[in-house]
Structure 1
Amino acid sequence: MAWRYFLLLSGWFLCVVAASTASYAQPTTPLAAPPAGQQATLELGRSSFPVNEYFTIAFRLSGAPLERYSAFPDIEGFKKSGKTSTTTTRTVGGRSSVELVLTQRYAAFAEGEFVLKPFSLTVNGQQLRSAGATLRVLPQAAAGTPPPAAAGPPPAGKQPLVGIGNLDQLLGKPKPQEYVEPRDNAFLSVEPDRASAWVGEPVHVGLYFYLAPADQGLLDFYRFAEQLPPILRQLRQPTAWEEAFDETDIRPDSVRVGGKPYLRYQLHETVYYPLSARALTFPRVALQMKKYRLAKRPIEGDDNRLEGYKTYFSQPRTVQVRALPPVPAGAAPAAVGRYQLREGVGSTSFRTGHTISYTLTVEGEGNLTALAPPEPRPVPGLEVYGPEVHLELTRADGRVTGRKVLRYRLVPRQPGRLRLRDVLRVPVFHPDRGRYDTLRPELELAVTGPAVTPPQEVTAFVRTDPFYAQQLASADATLMDMDTPRQVKRYANLVLALLLALAGIGWWTARR
């Protein structure tokens, strides 16, 4: 009976571990809501067709423009053979509606019966589901044979037709489709937002791909996720602090370059803070794109384009970096940026001997991460503790802004007016003005109450108290192992192994 209890105990232990592990499961991220008014449906082609014809999967979209869609499913025994898109614009009563049909074609490798498993396709955040189908690929249809000639001679006055050859002999063999490569107006560009900067001044650098609206059907991105990391390694600056923006979906915005309209795709953006007077140099980088060649004689129902590749190169860029002016004698190192101060206190009345919670916030545009908290200046009758530092950064619209919150604890010992500008100062260098400045608090606190002398040191109290003196004399000075988590894990594994061993012994005993 004992082994049964051990089995029950070990099973309960494993269930508890599994339940605690499962409690850390993360919820799945919900899909983005589709645009209002959007209507999308899935359409499957014929399930029975000859081997020389395509099977198709398409979705029909209306009520919203196509922004994004997931990949079409793979079908065992078939290969994908290009996409076709059809856009239909209908105008009824002065109102226009656009319907898009995007079709993926599949070519069968051989005859037989194949299974299209259930799948889903996401279009602009809307999920379309299909229950799948059974596909029957039939033999290629044989060419029709002419009916047998009637027996006997032809009627009087009518001569039989004389064959002079097949269509290839009459018209010649069909020529292969010819493709041409149209000229495009696309280009790759690395763009700093300024040509020169001070040491520590933010420099925004964007990597953009420009495309003329008329060339949208000619170009497409090719393995961009694999090409981007090597490009960023080439653009990285060893003498600058880097604040990279989060990667987002590549979506175009409309701009004008040289008076001409373009679609600009932002591939990456970063803000650099130069740490020395060495110039920032951005070399020429390359991006390979898909470029399609178009058919000379388009055929209705065909894709009418041939996939190829083209590499685009950016122009090298340089940003000159200027050294900061000499720091005034006796001044602390300044933070470079466009900053302002905000301050606050935790109460409205202030008494001697009581703690005052004071918050100093430095906010604006600059390298707030590298901004050092100001050292409190000694003021008679005031004790300053802290600060506790909290940093918030916002990366948006090509700028890195934020705020650095410094929380101090002030303990006044004497009554009177407490001017915080005499306690804390933040030296800065304003890059637009090209000069140093000092940000000072403006609050003045009226402290009331009698003068309070600081308490004696805690060490002196411990040494003079007989209880603590006795305890310290008899205390063990041996160092203790502080690696508690590892020890607990080791003991837990040992207990688990022991339970499993006892369960195995009980099972073996029961079988005997």
Structure 2
Amino acid sequence: MQILFRLTLLILLLFLGALPTMAQSAPPRAEAEIVLGPSAFTISEYFTISFQLRGAPLERYSPFPELEGFKKSGKSSTTTTRIVNGARSTELTITQRYAAYAEGEFEVKPFTMTINGLTVRSAGTTLNVGPQVTAPAGPPGSAAPPAIGLLDQLFGKPKPQDFVEPKDQAFLALVPDKTRAYVGEGVHIGLYFYLTPQDQGVLDFYNFADQLQTIIRLLRQRTVWEETFDEQEIVPENVQVGGKPFLRYRLYEAQLYPLNAQPLTFPVVPLRMVKYRVAKKPEPGLDNRMEGYKTYFTAPVTIAVLPLPPHPLRDEVPVGDYRLREAISRTSFRTGQTFAYSFVVEGEGNLSALNMPAVAPPPGLEVYGPDVEQSTTRQGGRVGGRKSFRYRLVARKPGALPFDSLFALVVFNPTTAKYDTLRSDLRPLVQGPVQEAQQVRTDPTDPFYQEALRDADNTPQKITVYQDVRRYANVLLLVLLAGAAVGWWRANR
């Protein structure tokens, strides 16, 4: 019986060691790092601080640091997605630009940022800002930096005074970049709050985080593919409206791609602000203003969506302003040698919906892939980037390879309102003797595996199969343990 007891304990230990693996594999761990831009640059260039996040979607992050001698000058975000052998990985990069006020040497002190709960530290650096090389030319719409202490709140209980509500010129506006668009064409919308510099002392944001959720629900459209901008800080921009200086706050922006010809209809959007009433007779030592509230509203907006012109592939054609770039891994080609070819699409459009048609290779040519990599950049109200399709090819017969008939993509350009075909210009010449095709295939995404997939068992499995195995194993262990305990008790009587 002692042997049975020891055997049961051994089985128990083996099961306990194997169960965590059977239950589920550990989720991928999020990683984040801070990347500083070049430390030497001219006064007309930007210094940049970026952070990169891998292994998890962005939930929240702390503000970028304030740098002495520099002004924050907008942010951009880039999402890079790679699909290699069916495995997907995504990397998000958010970049803050800084403009220097003057030439000289500046120190960036060590700082930390919190990204999705991860604390990331930068050791800082020393910056050298030199004179600009070309003739001075400020960026369009540039203006002096906004005043420090914008919309500061003062604390303290006012004494009985007579207050009046001052007039303001502030307004809330939903601004699209176009009034009509084709199906699949990008439409940028931005929700902005405008106020004059004189209104800063009487207006302030009120519980904006909670209001933003309601605003987003009102702006969401059911018939679009949406690309949101990863912008969390609300900072003023100096703009001109009707020839007058205004401060503009970007509250929300997104790029919308209509999926059908249904119009995009945006209702009236409210925003509640704190508006202070000011004392008729200000007295020293008192607050001289009383907190109140005012709600601003946008005007309703409708954007007409036009169907694409007739075309045999109209429902499958990607829409955007695209260009083709090609790359090939060899300059000379021999039969039996593997080489790589990349079909790279660049420009503005919904890259997530852009896919290459299936390649039908002629006899004597094997085509594997593609491996897909996508990089999307959101900056300045525009969304663009590049999407790469990388193929591996093996030629078994000598001769010219007709890449122009193998790799081509029909697109619709909404600017010209015409269809275009991105077609390969390469025509590699393969030399060498005819070789037999190999039967070994390493990529399960290739069409050669279709027959094996058809013969595979496709019976659906319960999603809780691992939990069921663990539960049954626990019951078995309890039975074995109970039997061992009874045997041990009888052996010692």
Q: Which residue of 1 aligns with 2:383?
A: 400
Report if aligned partners of 1:375, 1:424 keep a CA contact under 8 Å in 2: no
2:269 to 264, 278, 285: 285
In the TM superposition, what whole-angstrom CA distance separates every residue of 1:331-350 from its partner, at most 9, and x where no partner exists? 88321001111121223332
The structural deviation recorded for 1:429 is: 0.4
Q: Could you tell me how far 1:381 is from its partner in structure 2? A: 2.2
Could you tell me how far apart the structure 2 residues matched to 1:263 and 1:345 are? 50
**Percentage identity across paired residues of the two chains:** 50
Tell me, what secondary structure is at the counterpart of 2:232?
coil
Post-superposition offset of 1:291: 0.2
Counterpart of 1:294 in structure 2 is: 278
- The question of whether the paired residues in 1 share the 8 Å contact of 2:154 and 2:287 is answered with no
Counting only pairs closer than 5 Å after superposition, residues 293-372 of structure 1 correspond to structure 2 as 293-327=277-311, 329=312, 333-372=316-355
Secondary structure of the residue aligned to 1:444 is coil
Q: Does 1:383 align with 2:396?
A: no
* Contact 1:352/1:452 (<8 A) preserved: yes
Aligned residues: 352
* C-alpha distance in structure 1 between counterparts of 2:437 and 2:344, whole Å: 29
What residue is the counterpart of 1:222 in the other structure? 206
* Residue identity in the other structure for 2:304: Q
Contact 2:155 2:287 in 1 (8 A): no
Q: Does 1:438 align with 2:421?
A: yes
2:248 pairs, out of 241, 246, 264, with 264
2:23 equivalent in structure 1: none
Letter in 1 for 2:382: R
Q: Indicate how the Cα distance of structure 1 residues 106 and 290 shifts in structure 2: closer, same or farther if over 3 A, else same.
A: closer
For residues 166-205 of structure 1, the aligned pairs below 5 Å read 176-205=160-189
1:456 Cα deviation (Å)?
Answer: 6.0
Corresponding residue number in structure 2 for 1:240: 224
- The answer as to whether partners of 2:63 and 2:233 remain within 8 angstroms in 1 is no
Contact 1:362 1:404 in 2 (8 A): yes
1:201 aligned counterpart, secondary structure: coil
Taking the aligned partners of 1:366 and 1:401, their CA distance within structure 2 comes to 6
Q: What letter corresponds to residue 208 of structure 1 in structure 2?
A: Y
Q: Deviations over 1:177-200 (max 9, x none)?
A: 100000000000001001111111
Measured in 2, the distance between the counterparts of 1:30 and 1:235 equals 26
Higher RCO (Cα < 8 Å, 6 or more apart)? 2
Q: Structure 1 residues 196-205 or 401-410, which shifts more? A: 401-410
Q: Deviations over 1:296-323 (max 9, x none)?
A: 1111111110000000010111111111
Which residue of structure 2 lines up, in the alignment, with residue 451 of structure 1? 434
Q: Classify the secondary structure of the residue corresponding to 2:401.
A: strand
* Residues 309 and 497 of structure 1, relative CA distance in 2, 3 Å threshold: farther
Q: Secondary structure at the match of 1:216?
A: helix
Partner amino acid for 2:367? V
SS of residue in 2 equivalent to 1:353: coil
Change over 3 Å in CA distance of 1:37–1:271 after alignment to 2: closer
Letter in 2 for 1:35: L
Q: Quick one: distance in 2 between partners of 1:224 and 1:324?
A: 39
Question: CA 1:99 to 1:262, structure 2 compared with 1: closer, same or farther past 3 Å?
Answer: closer
Query: Residues 383 and 493 (structure 1 numbering): CA distance in 2 closer, same or farther, change over 3 Å?
Result: same
Corresponding position of 1:62: none
Question: C-alpha displacement at 1:382, in angstroms?
Answer: 1.4
Letter in 2 for 1:350: F
One-letter identity of the residue aligned with 2:346: E
Q: Give the drift of 1:374.
A: 2.3
2:362 and 2:346 mapped to 1: Cα distance?
26
Larger displacement relative to structure 2 (346-355 or 306-315): 346-355
| Structure 2: distance between partners of 1:99 and 1:387 | 53
CA distance in 1, matches of 2:204, 2:178: 30
SS at match of 1:442: coil
- The alpha-carbon deviation at position 235 of structure 1 amounts to 1.2
Partner of 2:67: 35
Query: Residue type of the partner of 1:323?
Result: P
Residues 15-58 of structure 1, C-alpha deviation per residue, up to 9 Å, x if partnerless? xx9xxx9x9798998885443279xxxxxxxxxxxxxxxxxxxx
Aligned-pair distance for 1:228? Answer: 1.0
Whether 1:423 aligns to 2:406 is yes
Q: 1:394 to 1:331 in 2, by over 3 A?
A: closer
SS of equivalent residue, structure 2 residue 268: coil
TM-score, normalised on structure 2? Answer: 0.61
> Residues of 2 paired with 1:191 and 1:103: CA distance?
29
Please give the residue correspondences for 1:93-132 in structure 2 after superposition, counting only pairs within 5 Å: none
Please tell me the residue identity of whatever aligns with 2:434: A
Residue 185 of structure 1 aligns to a residue whose secondary structure is coil
For residue 425 of structure 1, what is the amino acid of its counterpart? A
User: In structure 2, how many angstroms separate the alpha carbons of the residues matched to 1:233 and 1:394?
Assistant: 24
In the superposition, relative to structure 1, how do residues 330 and 180 fare at CA in structure 2: closer, same or farther (>3 Å)? Answer: closer
Are 2:163 and 2:280, in contact at CA under 8 Å, matched by a contact in 1? yes
> Please, which runs of 5 or more residues in structure 1 have no aligned partner?
1-5, 39-97, 108-174, 459-476, 502-512
Unpaired runs of 5+ in structure 2? 1-8, 21-25, 33-59, 71-147, 442-456, 483-493
Name the SS of the counterpart of 1:233 in structure 2.
helix
Q: Residues 338 and 431 of structure 1 are in contact (CA less than 8 Å); yes or no, is this contact kept in structure 2?
A: yes
> Superposed, which structure 2 residues align to 1:9-28 within 5 Å?
none
Mapped contact 2:282–2:288 kept (Cα < 8 A) = yes
Deviations 1:129-181 (A, max 9, x none): xxxxxxxxxxxxxxxxxxxxxxxxxxxxxxxxxxxxxxxxxxxxxx9410000
Preserved contact between residue 244 and residue 270 of structure 1 (Cα < 8 Å): yes
Tell me by how many angstroms 1:411 deviates: 1.6
Q: 1:182 to 1:394 in 2, by over 3 A?
A: same
1:271 to partner: Cα distance? 0.5
Distance 1:493 1:32 in 2: 50
TM-score by length of 1: 0.59
Partners of 1:332 and 1:427 within 8 A in 2: no
Root-mean-square deviation (CA), in Å? 4.4
Change (3 A) 1:286 1:34: closer
Seen in structure 2, the aligned counterparts of structure 1 residues 279 and 106 have a Cα distance that, compared at 3 Å, is closer
Partner Cα separation in structure 1 for residue 288 and residue 246 of structure 2: 25
Q: Distance in 2 between matches of 1:422 and 1:433?
A: 25
